[in-house]
Every structure is written in structure tokens, then in C-alpha cells.
Amino acid sequence: MQIATFTQLRNNARYYFDAVEQGEIIKIKRHGKIIAEIKPAADDGTDNTLKNPALRLSIKGAELSKIIIEERE
């Protein structure tokens, strides 16, 4: 377990998050008082990344851009 001030965390976030990835628990102090604890997340087996493609929405009919161009002409 490590203790870091809020300023130390802000200035060295990469170091502290690397330590958390290795299993370390980081306690954060602000104004001399511990306000937070950063610890490794429990692996619940879900994949919460944004790598999964979103659904594509499509509508049957003319494309809106073509309709606008036609209206301008």
C-alpha cells in the first residue's frame, strides 16, 4: 500500500496507475486526510471496451444529403 497526495497523483498518474495494475493499493490524501483509495478492479468477465462496433442505423428511402442537393438546384 502506498500513500500519495492529490498533487502527487495528478503529477505522476501514470506511475500510480501502473502500480495499481501490478496489484498495489494507493491511498490518496488531500489536506492531510485520506479521501480515496485506488485499487485494482475485480475482473467480472465483462468486456467494457469501446472496441465493439456500434449498431448502424439506416432508413429506407432517399439519402438526406441527396434530397438537400436536389432542393438547392
Task: Decide if 16 is inside a domain.
Answer: yes
SS3 content of the chain, % helix, strand, coil (to 5): 35, 20, 45
Q: Does residue 69 form part of some domain?
A: no
- Read off the pTM: 0.57
Range of the domain at 27: 1-41
At CA 33, angle to CA 9 and CA 11, rounded to 5?
A: 10
CATH code of the domain covering residue 37 = 3.40.1620.10
Q: What is the mean pLDDT of each run of 10 residues along the chain (73 residues)?
A: 94 95 95 94 70 69 78 85
Q: Evaluate whether 29 touches 35 at the Cβ level (below 8 Å).
A: yes
